[in-house]
Amino acid sequence: MTSSAQGALLRVQDLRASYVTLGGERVVRAVDGVSFSIDRGESLGIVGESGSGKTTTCLSIVGLLPSGARIDSGSVQFDGEELTGLSKGGLNAVRGRRIAMILQDPMASLNPLLTVQDQVAEPAYYHRGERGLRLKDHVLSLLRDVRIPSPEVRMAEFPHQMSGGMRQRVVGAIALSAGPELIIADEPTTNLDVTIQAQYLSLLKDLQVRTGVALLFVTHNLGIVAKMCDRVAVMYAGRIVEQGKVSELFRSPRHPYTQALLNSIPKLGSKEPLYAIPGQPPDLAELPGGCAFNPRCPHAWDRCRTDQPPESLASANHLARCWLLEPA
């Protein structure tokens, strides 16, 4: 685990979570021994292909796993408090107030029957006790912070009256409403076009710098990680296979999966064919033996197919799970 874990704002240790398939026939381990930490004001990116366990990790942190899913073991500590054993009331006191989430689909986050004002005001109303004119002014200030034009007019509108980019800004305002210490942003730009995406990322980074909120940013896009994050954790088949500072990991990736992801990024002006990682992500219910990436890895050898590699120190604050890092 990197970062100063002892004094970290969020500390996830050896987290394991699973889903029961329909009929209860099989248990699928979606998160398998995940560990990381985030300091106050820091930004950590979690990157990986679809199905790698990114979203399940985030939902496990805030106790919002869907029906049929469960945390099997591990620890999630926020500011020194263990979250995995908290009651529903205890979690509700943390969610929205100290930890907020921004999801990829704003229409799934917003209530179509409530105005923007009502929805942005709700966290501050319940968690901070704000009322009346002070609460209205707070909502207006947040809408200005997320750069919504004519906020006095927009606050009376309903979600369907706004564009996708505008709705996502409203979700950002809701996340900031109670003054959280950590925002978990799960693929928040997936449904936005490239121009709006760039504007939203710039806005989110600016808000983080101004408010000092820590950011856990989940994406499949390494370009976004380079722009938004201080450190990055790369997930594959429910495990973090590499993590470290963004600058070092991009300059010297040590896990073959990370190397493949970086090679998949299009190069401006290059006439070379786009690189594609061979094969498909594994079925979490039927993982191969040893390292889960071994069927797709050009460097796999016998031990990769039989033994799970431990987490090794590639350099100071740079960790990776690969037998290639082990001394011969």
| DSSP conformation letters of 211-241 | H--EEEEEES-HHHHHHH-SEEEEEETTEEE
From 60, 58, 65, 73, select the one nearest 20 (Cα to Cα).
65
* Mean pLDDT calculated for residue range 273-291: 90
134 pLDDT exceeds 80?
yes
Please state, for a pLDDT cut of 90, what percent of the chain lies above it.
Answer: 76
2 pLDDT exceeds 80?
no
d(CA 115, CA 298): 53
Q: Would you say 12 and 74 are in contact if contact means Cβ atoms under 8 Å apart?
A: yes
* Mean pLDDT calculated for residue range 216-226: 92
Q: Would you say 241 and 226 are in contact if contact means Cβ atoms under 8 Å apart?
A: no
Tokens 């980019």 identify what position? 165
From 129, 53, 69, 67, select the one nearest 97 (Cα to Cα).
129
Residue 172's H or E segment, with its range, is: helix 164-176
94 pLDDT exceeds 90?
yes
246 within a domain of the structure (yes/no) = yes
- pLDDT tens digit sequence for 186-214: 999 887 888 888 999 999 999 999 999 99
d(CA 215, CA 218): 10
Per-residue pLDDT at 171: 94
Per-residue pLDDT at 33: 96
* Mean pLDDT calculated for residue range 81-97: 92
* Mean pLDDT calculated for residue range 256-271: 89
- pLDDT tens digit sequence for 243-259: 999 999 999 999 999 99
How close are the terminal C-alpha atoms of the chain, in Å?
24
Residue 327 pLDDT level (bands cut at 50, 70, 90): low
110 within a domain of the structure (yes/no) = no
98 Cβ neighbours under 8 A, 6+ residues apart: 78, 79, 180, 181, 182
Domain count, the chain: 1
74 pLDDT exceeds 90?
yes
Radius of gyration of the chain (CA): 21
Tokens of 140: 């207006």
Please state, for a pLDDT cut of 70, what percent of the chain lies above it.
Answer: 97
129 within a domain of the structure (yes/no) = no
From 55, 145, 60, select the one nearest 102 (Cα to Cα).
55
25 pLDDT exceeds 80?
no
Report phi then psi at 261, rounded to 5: -60, -45
74 within a domain of the structure (yes/no) = yes
Average pLDDT, the chain: 92
43-47 and 214-219 as β-strands: parallel, antiparallel, unpaired? parallel
95 pLDDT exceeds 90?
yes
**Better-scored residue on pLDDT, 1 or 248:** 248
Per-residue pLDDT at 5: 52
Domain range for 297 is 5-86+220-325
Strand positions, DSSP E, 39-117: 43-47, 69-78, 81-82, 99-102
* Mean pLDDT calculated for residue range 52-70: 94
239 within a domain of the structure (yes/no) = yes
300 within a domain of the structure (yes/no) = yes
Query: Which CATH number covers residue 257?
Result: 3.40.50.300
d(CA 219, CA 47): 5
Residue 60 pLDDT level (bands cut at 50, 70, 90): very high
298 within a domain of the structure (yes/no) = yes
Tokens 């750069």 identify what position? 147
